[in-house]
């Protein structure tokens, strides 16, 4: 797909549809977005309806250039510095909103999320449209985010007027969300890492997304619905298993008569193969995907892999080998934890 050529006629048609209050899905470097004219309250209402998203969950306004951010939000010195450094790119800033910005976009809050994506198709659409495009990920609320045009069509079908195609998202998971309102915090981890953000703006950033891992921590100051405990979920129950416990868990699943599709690291392959061979009558791995241990590659393939394991074969569940804990993996770990949270299996195995 790297030789994909942007069709300006298609971009203009998409832009016209947005102007007419319709919804257009488009690729970004993170995941596909479901776009609506951010200045049209009827279009925003349609967006929430199609997405199936509760009204108090804000959406991100996408723009083509830093100068346009001033029309939507107040940029502090630090915010401007972050924008200049990381935009276009996988960063969303939560900033104080300008008075005219509809609270329909902001979930009733006085803040607005803004982002300038780097994907060429997204940028072409945004600059042709010439104003803000409100765009959540182009999936139904709570489902896996799409990283292909086909996945968008499968999830939203006729409800979206047009799906723009383009080069495959290079990042693969949603943007890092940084709030610069109140205590500077990272609300959602992504592939742009906390240390890189802190190094540029000189602020100490609270890692609000770690709240559930840190005992007794209270809710983040600004609530981001993407941080609902259960989100980004496949249909099949997903079980996230600590490294080193995979053999044990697979055996236990076999005892319970459950089959699984497996997502594990390449360096665990021989161990798993030997467990599967030795205990063929007790372990039922239906399909397996083994991935290399680089966070960037893992993130790029994550939603496609989960989708595949969710739709392939007849397994009762998906088992995922937990990635490492260092900050390069925070985004991936966050999505996997949410995909597993609340699944009956995860609680069954909490003691393993
Ligand atoms: O990479 C991305 O950010 C993708 C692409 C399409 O740009 N978009 C995306 O949008 O992930 P969505 O709606 O699925 O997730 C947006 C997140 C939500 O968790 C929402 O709560 C948070 O951004 N958010 C948006 N505006 C906010 C605000 N004013 N305050 C706090 N959180 C906000
Ligand atoms: Mg989303």
Ligand 1 within 6 A of 220 CB? no
Q: Which ligand is nearest to the CA of 34?
A: 1
Tokens of 112: 């607005």
Q: What is the pLDDT of residue 215?
A: 38
Q: Are 161 and 50 in contact (CB under 8 A)?
A: no
Tokens of 3: 């030789």
Distance of CA 231 from the midpoint of ligand 2 (Å): 8
Task: Read off the DSSP letter of residue 128.
Answer: H
At 8, which helix (H) or strand (E)?
helix 8-19
- Assess whether 176 and 315 both reside in one domain: no
Q: What is the pLDDT of residue 221?
A: 31
- Assess whether 251 and 202 both reside in one domain: no
pLDDT digits (tens, 9 = 90+) for 87-135: 999 999 999 999 999 999 999 999 999 999 999 999 999 999 999 999 9
- Distance CA(329)–CA(36), nearest Å, equals 31
Q: Which of 51, 58, 87, 163 to mutate to test the pocket of ligand 1 (most atoms within 8 A of CB)?
A: 58
Distance of CA 58 from the midpoint of ligand 1 (Å): 7
Q: Which ligand is nearest to the CA of 231?
A: 2
266 assigned to some structural domain: yes
- Distance CA(337)–CA(309), nearest Å, equals 16
- Listed residues: CB within 5 A of ion ligand 2: 137
Tell me the pLDDT of the chain averaged across its residues: 90
Q: Are 302 and 320 in contact (CB under 8 A)?
A: no
- Assess whether 47 and 150 both reside in one domain: yes
Distance of CA 276 from the midpoint of ligand 2 (Å): 36
- Assess whether 301 and 194 both reside in one domain: no
Q: CA quadruple 71, 75, 81, 83: dihedral positive or negative?
A: negative
Q: Which ligand is nearest to the CA of 180?
A: 1
Q: Are 8 and 95 in contact (CB under 8 A)?
A: no
2 assigned to some structural domain: no
SS (H, E, C) 195-210: HHHHHHHCCCCEEHHH
Distance of CA 137 from the midpoint of ligand 2 (Å): 4
CA-nearest of 197, 214, 144 to 174 is 144
Q: Which ligand is nearest to the CA of 189?
A: 1
Q: Are strands 111-115 and 91-96 parallel, antiparallel or unpaired?
A: antiparallel
Task: Read off the DSSP letter of residue 169.
Answer: P
Ligand 1 within 6 A of 92 CB? yes
Distance of CA 213 from the midpoint of ligand 2 (Å): 21
pLDDT digits (tens, 9 = 90+) for 278-337: 777 777 888 999 998 899 999 999 999 999 999 998 899 999 999 999 999 999 999 999
Picking from 215, 246, 279, the residue at the C-terminal end of a domain is 215
Structural domain total, the chain: 2
pLDDT(273) > 90? no
- Distance CA(190)–CA(206), nearest Å, equals 15
- Assess whether 266 and 160 both reside in one domain: no
227 assigned to some structural domain: no
Ligand 1 within 6 A of 113 CB? yes
pLDDT digits (tens, 9 = 90+) for 20-29: 999 999 999 9
Atom of ligand 1 nearest to the CA of 137: 14
More confident residue, 207 or 351: 207
CA-nearest of 258, 251, 294 to 275 is 251
Picking from 162, 181, 215, the residue at the C-terminal end of a domain is 215
Choose the weakest-confidence range: 75-79, 149-153, 224-228, 238-242. 224-228
Q: Which residue is associated with the tokens 């790029």? A: 300
DSSP states of 171-236: S-SPPEEEE-SSS-EEEE--SS-HHHHHHHH-PPPEEGGGTTTSTT----SS--GGGSSS-SB-SS
Picking from 184, 200, 215, the residue at the C-terminal end of a domain is 215
End-to-end CA distance of the chain: 43
pLDDT(352) > 90? no
Q: What is the pLDDT of residue 342?
A: 63
- 85: containing domain: 8-215
Q: What is the pLDDT of residue 31?
A: 98
- Distance CA(174)–CA(178), nearest Å, equals 12
Q: Are 217 and 204 in contact (CB under 8 A)?
A: no
Tokens of 89: 């790119």
- Assess whether 40 and 167 both reside in one domain: yes
Which phi and psi angles does 307 have, rounded to 5°?
-60, -45
Distance of CA 258 from the midpoint of ligand 2 (Å): 30
The residue nearest atom 12 of ligand 1, judged by CA position, is: 136
- Distance CA(34)–CA(125), nearest Å, equals 12
Ligand 1 within 6 A of 301 CB? no
Q: Which residue is associated with the tokens 């209270």? A: 218
Ligand 1 within 6 A of 101 CB? no
- Assess whether 150 and 187 both reside in one domain: yes
Ligand 1 within 6 A of 30 CB? yes
């Amino acid at each position: 797909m790297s030789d994909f050529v942007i069709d300006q006629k298609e971009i203009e048609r998409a832009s016209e549809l947005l102007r007419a209050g319709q919804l257009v899905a488009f690729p970004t470097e993170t995941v596909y977005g479901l776009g609506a004219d951010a200045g049209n309250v009827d279009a925003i209402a349609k967006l929430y309806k199609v997405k199936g998203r509760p009204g108090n969950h804000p959406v991100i306004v996408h723009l083509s250039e830093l100068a346009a951010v001033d029309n939507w939000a107040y940029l502090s010195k630090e915010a401007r510095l972050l924008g200049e450094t990381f935009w276009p790119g996988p960063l969303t800033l939560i900033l104080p909103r300008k008075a005219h910005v509809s609270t329909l976009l902001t979930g009733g809050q006085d803040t607005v999320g803004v982002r300038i994506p780097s994907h060429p198709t997204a940028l072409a659409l945004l600059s042709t449209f010439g104003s803000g495009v409100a765009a959540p990920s182009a999936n139904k609320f709570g489902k896996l985010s799409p990283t292909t045009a086909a996945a968008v069509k499968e999830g939203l079908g006729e409800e979206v007027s047009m799906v723009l195609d383009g080069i495959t998202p290079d990042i693969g998971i949603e943007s890092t969300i940084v709030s610069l309102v109140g205590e500077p915090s990272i609300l959602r981890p992504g592939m742009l890492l906390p240390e890189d953000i802190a190094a540029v703006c000189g602020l100490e950033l609270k890692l609000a997304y770690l709240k559930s891992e840190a005992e007794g921590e209270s809710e983040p100051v600004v609530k981001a619905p993407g941080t609902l405990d259960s989100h980004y979920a496949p249909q099949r129950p997903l079980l996230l298993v600590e490294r080193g416990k995979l053999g044990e868990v697979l055996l236990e699943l076999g005892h319970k008569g459950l089959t699984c599709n497996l997502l594990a690291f390449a360096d665990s392959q021989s161990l798993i193969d030997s467990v599967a061979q030795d205990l063929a009558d007790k372990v039922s791995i239906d399909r397996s995907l083994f991935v290399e241990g680089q966070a960037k590659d893992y993130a790029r393939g994550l939603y496609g892999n989960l989708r595949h394991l969710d739709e392939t074969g007849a397994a009762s569940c998906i088992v995922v080998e937990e990635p490492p804990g260092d900050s390069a993996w925070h985004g991936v770990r966050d999505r996997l934890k949410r995909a597993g949270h609340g699944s009956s299996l995860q609680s069954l195995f909490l003691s393993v």
